Amino acid sequence: MLLKWSQSVQWFGKNVSKWIFRLHIDIRTLDLYPVNTSDGGLGVTEFVDVKNMTRWIQRDGVEPIMASMVEYLEADFARWEAFDKVARVASHTPFGVIELMPTSDTKEYAFKYVNGHPFNPARGFQTVTAFGMLADVDNGYPTFLAEMTLLTALRTAATSAMVARRVARPGAQVMAMIGAGSQAEFQALAFRALMGIDQLRVYDVDPAAVEKLRRNLQPLGFDIQEAGSTSESVVGADIVTTCTADKARATILSSEQVPAGVHINAVGGDCPGKTELDPELLRRAKVFVEFPEQTRVEGEIQQMAPDFPVTEFWKVLTGAEEGRTSAEQITIFDSVGFAIADFSALRCARDATAGTDLQTYIDLVADPEDPKDLFSLVNTLKPVG
């Protein structure tokens, strides 16, 4: 067998065994890992559908999964500069937005398809749906495809708690939640898993949403108090999570409502023309972001001047920049969601389900025996004569 540096080498041929090992060799690393090809062919892709994503979450538990996911997130954020980064590609309509979120390192490429349609629940549809994929950078073949509506909910909450653990005041005990929609339970569980917070002060314009959250979380041991307004919810809170769905330039929180020392987890402002925070509150705070080029277009800081100062969270994680600098400082995580977090979430899901019945396999890529003879797969012509 001939080995070539910086080249993928295949052992045993494409159909010798159900398991094929691909040997990746370069000057720095030697990685050997199995790729299940089901009934043969490298075009077969590992797949986790909605049913199996649900089974995985029920099997391992929401909080343990998010704690594990944070390990993947921190590992990938710590090597932020190794990734190819671009703001997501968005298609905006009066109904909502559809986006593609790509990124890659030197070995794997990832993308997520995601929508945001705030009027969907009134029609019986989810506000946000998503699916995503990992591919081998070496040959371009897709290796893993997964449901990401649930996975995005997990990674969004895990990212919020990861940031808060680094920049909120130590000893935080109470979280205000403004907005009790689909993301709310995941946020609450993430903050309990990472920071031990189980006291919630919840406000939503829809009382049924608060009741839904209470029904889901109270049996899990949360202390939940319903607030009559955003101002009431913030009283006594160490952390404030804003997560509303309306696509509008709204002021969910004014500067006057927020006392010194609070950490704000601003989740809802995630596309152009959609904000939740008073600009004056941003001026009072130290603002942390994922990818500034994207956040300045989609996040709370779209309201601010192009040179408004922000701190990239990966630099806090690696020690390149400071996080919170005083107990009185207001900190804000201007969360819009970035593709590297999806990359981490997909890796987490793939690794956790590998080798189990939670993964199935689909033929996603036409892969003829002769790579130059694609026509052989469809040739039904009869010879003339």
Output the domain CATH number for residue 300: 3.40.50.720
Whether residue 381 is contained in a domain is answered as no
Whether residue 345 is contained in a domain is answered as yes
Range 356-361 average pLDDT: 96
Could you give the residue numbers annotated as active site? 270
State residue 384's pLDDT score: 72
Q: Which SS3 state, helix, strand or coil, does residue 153 take?
A: helix
Range 88-101 average pLDDT: 93
Residues in the chain: 385
Both 110 and 239 in a single domain? no
Both 54 and 126 in a single domain? yes
Q: Give the integer Cα–Cα distance in Å for 200 and 173.
A: 9
Both 108 and 215 in a single domain? no
Q: Give the integer Cα–Cα distance in Å for 247 and 120.
A: 12
Q: Give the integer Cα–Cα distance in Å for 57 and 51.
A: 10
How is residue 117 written in tokens? 């349609």
Both 197 and 139 in a single domain? no
Query: Would the pLDDT of 65 be above 60?
Result: yes
The strand pair at 239-242 and 263-266 is best described as parallel
Whether residue 114 is contained in a domain is answered as yes
Range 193-216 average pLDDT: 97
Both 363 and 298 in a single domain? no
**Which of 41, 57, 73 is the C-terminal boundary of a domain?**
41
Domain range for 141 is: 42-150+341-371
The strand pair at 360-363 and 44-48 is best described as antiparallel
State residue 247's pLDDT score: 66
pLDDT tens digits for range 280-307? 999 999 999 999 999 999 999 999 999 9
Range 67-81 average pLDDT: 98
Residue 119 DSSP code: T
Both 177 and 261 in a single domain? yes
Q: Give the integer Cα–Cα distance in Å for 368 and 355.
A: 26
How is residue 378 written in tokens? 């469809």
- Which residues, in sequence order, are CB contacts of 184 under 8 Å at separation 6+? 177, 202, 209, 213, 243
Both 348 and 205 in a single domain? no
**pTM across the whole model:** 0.86
| Rounded percentage of the chain residues whose pLDDT exceeds 90 | 78
Query: Would the pLDDT of 1 be above 70?
Result: no
Query: Would the pLDDT of 249 be above 90?
Result: no
State residue 3's pLDDT score: 38
Query: Would the pLDDT of 126 be above 80?
Result: yes
Query: Would the pLDDT of 117 be above 50?
Result: yes
Both 5 and 55 in a single domain? no
Whether residue 188 is contained in a domain is answered as yes
CATH number at residue 76: 3.30.1780.10
pLDDT tens digits for range 308-344? 999 999 999 999 999 999 999 999 999 999 999 999 9
Both 105 and 180 in a single domain? no
Which residue bears the tokens 């990212």? 159
Range 89-115 average pLDDT: 95
226 close to 206: Cβ distance less than 8 angstroms? no
Whether residue 128 is contained in a domain is answered as yes
State residue 42's pLDDT score: 61
State residue 357's pLDDT score: 97
Residue 370 DSSP code: S
Whether residue 160 is contained in a domain is answered as no
Both 267 and 320 in a single domain? yes
Both 312 and 345 in a single domain? no
State residue 234's pLDDT score: 97
Query: Which residue from 139, 141, 128, 74 is spatially nearest to 101, judged by alpha carbons?
Result: 128
Number of domains comprising the chain? 3
Both 271 and 214 in a single domain? yes
Q: Report the mean per-residue pLDDT for the chain.
A: 89
Query: Would the pLDDT of 37 be above 70?
Result: no
pLDDT band at 25 (very low <50, low <70, confident <90, very high): very low
Q: How many CB atoms lie within 10 A of CB 12?
A: 11
Query: Would the pLDDT of 16 be above 70?
Result: no
State residue 251's pLDDT score: 87
pLDDT tens digits for range 143-200? 999 999 999 999 999 999 999 999 999 999 999 999 999 999 999 999 999 999 999 9
For 113-118, the CB contacts below 8 A with 24+ separation are 113/148, 114/148, 114/152, 116/247, 116/270, 116/271, 118/245, 118/246, 118/247
Alpha helices in the chain (DSSP H): 50-60, 62-77, 149-167, 184-195, 207-217, 230-234, 279-284, 292-298, 313-318, 339-353
Whether residue 385 is contained in a domain is answered as no
Mean pLDDT lowest among 131-140, 191-200, 371-380: 371-380
Whether residue 159 is contained in a domain is answered as no
